């Protein structure tokens, strides 16, 4: 690849002789030429600029000087031996054929250009010649770029970011380094290109560590035990989770551009933990908020509860039986009681910006801003002043043991009464996030046994609970609209941290 840089400060580009680029030049992997623009001036003062036509501050670089320089450089011999013809006369718009032969790109660094990204670097790395026309002052007369584009030269005006430099030299250095390291042989270890930020994954890179394991109070054995486990699959999952968390924190714009089809269940769960939901059919992830329910949620919550309950019922139940159950146990009155009761923790999952309809679907499939798409209810077994338990608390099955807390703290049981997610947002990590939130809430309440009953036939629910740390301890019967159903009873002891479940569950 031939690199030409035209500037009025050739010394500025001296740093290119150092480091990888210099070595690549010396080894013939790159063919680097830095030119002084003033070599193409003809007046005594070697003038390169003039005042702006139309008035205004600053100076503009002269098109005649740039034209003389670029005419020479655009037809320079390339290592392959090809010599281009002189640009000649511009062709009419519409039949601007690209020049045949080697791919030569004229790059004009300018804060008003398109933003240079890793994609741009990858594209430019495929060219045979890159010519950087570094402007100073207010920039280069706009006809220069227009002329070479009209002659069939590929012209790219590129900015390296939303800030202003005094000239294009520093920006050219940045672009050259980003492009050159993608060329074969320039970088020492080609694999390190694959994992780094902005390469293919669309995520920022995860944090990295090296020895010593403990340094100035930061002990990786305590904070990052997975990295020391030697379990490659777990290390990869952990790093990807960290990449997702970091990207959500620092570059939400990148999260909003991810493609859900390229995300696995672990990615979705990590996204949901970090405030995003990526439904399988959607074009892109959308923001997700998991928060305590408030009075204003009542109507939407009752609607969500009525909509999601039937999905979790065994097929043996009739619609009438299900409706009868909802009318009693998930009525707006019951939910209103829960909202007021400090012994009940109601959590909702909200899409603050809604969810656009999946590509190819009608707007009827879209969800509006503020839509509630999931909720959980935790009911603690605490008597009120009248000696009564909270409304809707199921009898605790005998299989559930309630141990005292650490240091002899009081034993306290709570029922995870509900965890429901809108069927359209299944497998998007919302249930796992609601569960994690519920566990953290009851942990803070001093609950020592969080138990639940879930339909024995509902395997996916049991699996999700197992993933959240629940273990099966027995069964119970549960009435839905007068019909007896068999439930599995599962328990989690928040104070006792379980070992991570292995592959076999």
Contact residues for ligand 6GU, defined by CB under 6 A: 109-111, 158-161, 163-165, 167-168, 171
Nearer to ligand 6GU, 115 or 366 (CB): 115
Residues 6+ apart with CB under 8 A from 231: none
Q: For residue 226, report the phi and psi dihedrals to the nearest 5 degrees.
A: -60, -40
Taking the complex as a whole, the smallest distance from the CB of residue 169 to ligand 6GU amounts, in Å, to 9
CA dist 31 and 24 (Å) reads: 8
CB nearer ligand 6GU, residue 140 or residue 480: 140
Distance between CA atoms of 136 and 21, rounded to whole angstroms?
A: 24
We find the least distance from the C-beta atom of residue 156 to ligand 6GU, in angstroms, to be 11
CB of 39 to ligand 6GU, least distance (A): 22
Instruction: Determine contact, residues 190/159, Cβ cutoff 8 Å.
Output: no
Q: What 3-state class would DSSP assign to 375?
A: strand
Shortest Å distance, C-beta 109 to ligand 6GU: 3
**Nearest Cα residue to 1 out of 79, 56, 63:** 79
Would you say 168 or 285 has its CB closer to ligand 6GU? 168
| Euclidean distance between CA atoms 442 and 387, whole angstroms | 21
Cα–Cα distance for residue pair 70/62, rounded to 1 Å: 12
CB of 172 to ligand 6GU, least distance (A): 8
Bond into 212 cis (ω within 30): yes
How many residues in the chain?
505
Q: Which is nearer to ligand 6GU, 11 or 249 (CB)?
A: 11
In the complex, what is the shortest distance from the CB of residue 501 to ligand 6GU, in angstroms, rounded to a whole number? 49
Q: Alpha helix locations (H) across 181-218?
A: 191-195
Distance CA 337, CA 418 (A): 15
Please state the closest distance from residue 164 (CB atom) to ligand 6GU, in A: 5
CB of 7 to ligand 6GU, least distance (A): 12
Shortest distance (Å) from residue 372 CB to ligand 6GU: 43
Q: Smallest gap, in angstroms, from Cβ of residue 138 to ligand 6GU? A: 10
Using CA atoms, how far apart are residues 461 and 466, in angstroms rounded to an integer? 9
Between 166 and 504, CB nearer to ligand 6GU: 166
Nearer to ligand 6GU, 152 or 167 (CB): 167
How far is 98 from 334, CA to CA, in rounded Å? Answer: 71
- The neighbour count for residue 404, using CB atoms within 10 Å, is 12
**Residue whose CB is less far from ligand 6GU, 160 or 434:** 160
Burial profile 44-61: b = 16 or more Cβ within 10 angstroms, e = fewer? eeeebbeeeeeeeeeebb
Burial class of 163 by CB neighbour count within 10 A (0 to 12, 13 to 18, 19+)? exposed
Residue closer to ligand 6GU (CB basis): 175 or 442: 175
Closer to ligand 6GU by Cβ: residue 169 or 422: 169
Provide, rounded to whole angstroms, the least separation between the CB of residue 167 and ligand 6GU: 5
Query: In terms of CB distance, is 11 or 365 closer to ligand 6GU?
Result: 11
Nearer to ligand 6GU by C-beta: 116 or 309? Answer: 116
What DSSP character marks residue 501?
A: P
Residue in 396, 415, 392, 416 with CA at minimum distance from that of residue 476: 396
- Quick one: 111 or 358, whose CB is closer to ligand 6GU? 111
Say how far residue 94 (Cα) sits from the centre of its chain: 40
Three state DSSP letters for 252-276: HHHHCCCCHHHCCHHHHHHHHHCCE
Distance, in Å, from the CA atom of 125 to the CA atom of 131, rounded to the nearest integer, reads 13
- CB of residue 158 to ligand 6GU, shortest distance in Å: 6
Helix axes 298-308, 332-340, angle to 10 degrees: 120
Name the H helices within 355-497.
430-445, 459-467
């Amino acid at each position: 690849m031939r690199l030409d840089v035209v500037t009025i400060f050739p010394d500025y580009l001296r740093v290119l002789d150092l480091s990888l680029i210099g070595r690549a030049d010396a080894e013939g992997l790159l063919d680097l030429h830095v030119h002084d623009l003033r070599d193409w001036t003809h007046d005594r003062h070697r003038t390169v600029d003039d005042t702006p036509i139309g008035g205004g501050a600053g100076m503009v670089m002269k098109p005649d000087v740039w034209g003389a320089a670029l005419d020479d450089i655009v037809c320079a011999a390339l290592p392959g031996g090809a010599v281009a013809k002189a640009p000649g006369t511009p062709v009419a718009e519409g039949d601007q054929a690209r020049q045949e032969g080697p791919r030569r790109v004229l790059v004009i660094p300018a804060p008003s250009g398109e933003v240079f990204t890793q994609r741009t670097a990858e594209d430019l790395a495929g060219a045979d010649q890159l010519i950087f026309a570094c402007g100073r002052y207010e920039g280069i007369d706009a006809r220069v770029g227009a002329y070479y584009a009209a002659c069939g030269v590929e012209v790219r005006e590129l900015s390296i970011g939303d800030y202003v430099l005094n000239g294009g030299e520093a920006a050219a250095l940045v672009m050259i380094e980003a492009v050159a390291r993608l060329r074969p042989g320039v970088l020492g270890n080609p694999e390190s290109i694959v994992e780094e930020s902005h390469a293919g994954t669309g995520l920022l890179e995860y944090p990295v560590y090296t020895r010593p394991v403990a340094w100035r109070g930061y002990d990786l054995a305590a904070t990052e035990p997975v990295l020391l486990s030697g379990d490659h699959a777990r290390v990869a999952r952990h790093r990807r989770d960290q990449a997702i968390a970091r990207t959500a924190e620092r570059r939400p714009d990148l999260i909003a551009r991810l493609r859900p089809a390229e995300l696995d269940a672990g990615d979705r769960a990590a996204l949901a933990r970090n405030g995003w939901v990526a439904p399988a059919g959607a074009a892109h992830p959308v923001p997700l908020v998991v928060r305590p329910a408030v009075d204003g949620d009542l109507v939407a919550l009752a609607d969500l509860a009525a909509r999601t309950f039937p999905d979790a019922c065994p097929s043996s139940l009739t619609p009438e039986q299900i409706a009868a159950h909802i009318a009693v146990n998930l009525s707006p009155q019951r939910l209103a009681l829960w909202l007021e009761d400090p012994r009940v923790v109601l959590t909702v999952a909200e899409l603050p910006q809604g969810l656009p309809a999946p590509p190819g679907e009608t707007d009827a499939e879209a969800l509006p801003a503020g839509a509630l798409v999931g909720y959980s209810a935790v009911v603690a077994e605490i008597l009120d002043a009248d000696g009564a338990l909270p409304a809707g608390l199921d009898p605790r099955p005998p299989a559930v043991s309630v141990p005292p807390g650490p240091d002899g703290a009081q034993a306290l049981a709570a029922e995870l009464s509900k965890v429901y997610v809108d069927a359209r947002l299944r497998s998007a990590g919302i249930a796992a996030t609601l569960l994690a939130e519920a566990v953290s809430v009851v942990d803070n309440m001093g609950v020592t046994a969080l138990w639940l009953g879930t339909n024995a036939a509902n395997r996916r629910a049991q699996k999700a609970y197992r993933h959240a740390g629940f273990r099966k301890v027995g069964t119970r019967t549960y009435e839905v609209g007068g019909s007896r159903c068999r439930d599995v009873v599962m328990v989690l002891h928040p104070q006792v941290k379980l070992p991570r479940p292995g592959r076999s569950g």
